[in-house]
């Protein structure tokens, strides 16, 4: 029997040779993967370099000082006003409103889909959410301007301006809702069934199990969803450009118009702008600032998540 096996092996496989071999397919694939990895790093570095280079021109301008940039609250580079805050606060306010809308709603949706929904309800609900994700942002912008703003005016009265941060923020929240809910649902579904069974076997109700066992265990995935959501909100341009207002305005009242960093860049770069003017280089300074704000928010949320996450292996 054993003898036969050896003979068959010899017929069907290449002869045994234990020496090292060159496998060209392996090396080609490996170098292709390496190149694509390097490429994405290179692109990121190149963008940061370009931003930094032009922003440096801006900060090298004798009229611009860091004290003015961070210490004043009016932004109008054409007339020598370089306070970045009105653009930053409006970005933070619209993004905060968006997260305030999308995180609870998205989490509730995700919990419903992963813990409660029957397979049938799931198969209907998920595609609908995905449609929401497929709507172009310019449509969302007009939805904010023509639907959400009148609605807010009806509820909160005349104090709500035609262009305002609240309607842009709320609609931005609706836009990132599918992102947050679908990423959170993946995280919740990835929690092992054994944990749920353990909880049920202790006499836990479905609600106690999903809220106190499954949700904390999925926190790191939900955190990732939150971080991507924040980045989307901070970087979102079209909705705020259409609905939040066209002009920097240092205010904390969400019902007033105020231009965000992205909205400002979009509007200014759309006009006729000559190369190397202060207006031109200021855009790069804003972009760099946007980059920093996103980075800081990501780091902060990551830290918070790490503090509360519950690791299961």
Instruction: State which residue, 10 or 205, has the beta carbon closest to another protein.
Output: 205
CB of 209 to another protein, least distance (A): 9
Tell me which stretch binds another protein (CB under 8 A): 153-161, 174-182, 197-205, 233-241: 197-205
Select from 62, 194, 271, 272 the one that contacts another protein (CB under 8 A): 194
Q: Is 192 in the site for another protein (CB under 8 A)?
A: yes
Instruction: State which residue, 269 or 310, has the beta carbon closest to another protein.
Output: 310
Taking the C-alpha atoms of residue 247 and residue 299, their distance in angstroms, rounded to an integer, is: 30
Select from 41, 157, 201, 274 the one that contacts another protein (CB under 8 A): 201
Instruction: State which residue, 112 or 312, has the beta carbon closest to another protein.
Output: 312
CB 301 within 8 A of CB 230: yes
CB of 218 to another protein, least distance (A): 10
Q: Is 202 in the site for another protein (CB under 8 A)?
A: yes
CB of 184 to another protein, least distance (A): 17
Q: Is 310 in the site for another protein (CB under 8 A)?
A: yes
Report helix, strand or coil for 76. Answer: strand
Which residue stretches of the chain are H helix?
2-12, 24-60, 66-71, 85-111, 119-134, 137-143, 149-156, 165-189, 193-200, 206-209, 215-217, 219-235, 238-243, 261-270, 278-308
Instruction: State which residue, 218 or 285, has the beta carbon closest to another protein.
Output: 218
Select from 204, 228, 246, 268 the one that contacts another protein (CB under 8 A): 204
Q: Please give the angle made by the CA atoms of 116, 124 and 230, to the nearest 5 degrees.
A: 75
Q: How far is CA 251 from CA 74, 91, 261, in A?
A: 11, 11, 14
Taking the C-alpha atoms of residue 233 and residue 162, their distance in angstroms, rounded to an integer, is: 21
User: Which string of DSSP letters, residue by residue, matches 113-139?
Assistant: IIII--HHHHHHHHHHHHHHHHS-HHH
CB of 255 to another protein, least distance (A): 43
The residues binding another protein (CB under 8 A) are 192, 194-195, 197-205, 208, 212-213, 216-217, 310-313
């Amino acid at each position: 029997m054993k003898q036969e096996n050896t003979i068959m092996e010899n017929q069907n496989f290449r002869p045994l040779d234990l020496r090292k071999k060159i496998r060209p397919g392996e090396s080609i694939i490996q170098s292709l993967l390496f190149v694509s990895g390097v490429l994405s790093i290179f692109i990121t570095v190149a963008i940061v370099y370009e931003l930094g280079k032009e922003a440096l021109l801006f900060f090298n301008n004798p009229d611009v000082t860091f004290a003015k940039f961070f210490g004043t609250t009016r932004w109008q580079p054409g007339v020598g006003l370089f306070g970045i805050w009105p653009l930053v606060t409006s970005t933070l306010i619209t993004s905060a409103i968006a997260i305030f809308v999308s995180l609870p709603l998205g989490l509730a949706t995700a919990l419903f889909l992963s813990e409660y929904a029957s397979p049938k309800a799931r198969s209907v609900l998920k595609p609908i959410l995905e449609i929401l994700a497929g709507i172009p942002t310019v449509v969302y912008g007009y939805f904010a301007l023509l639907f959400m703003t009148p609605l807010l005016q009806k509820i909160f009265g005349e104090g709500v301006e035609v262009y305002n941060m609240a309607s842009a923020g709320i609609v931005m929240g609706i836009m990132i809702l599918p992102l947050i809910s679908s990423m959170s649902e993946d995280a919740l579904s990835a929690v092992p069934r054994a944990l749920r069974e353990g909880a049920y076997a202790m006499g836990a109700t479905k609600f106690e199990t999903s809220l106190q066992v499954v949700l904390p265990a999925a926190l790191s995935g939900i955190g990732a969803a939150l971080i991507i959501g924040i980045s989307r909100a901070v970087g979102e341009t079209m909705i705020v450009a259409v609905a939040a207002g066209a002009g920097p305005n240092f205010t904390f009242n969400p019902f007033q118009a105020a231009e965000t960093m992205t909205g400002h860049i979009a509007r200014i770069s759309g006009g006729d702008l000559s190369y190397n003017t202060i207006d031109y280089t200021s855009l790069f300074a804003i972009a760099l600032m946007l980059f920093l704000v996103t980075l800081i928010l990501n780091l902060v949320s990551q830290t918070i998540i790490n503090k509360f996450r519950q690791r299961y292996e």
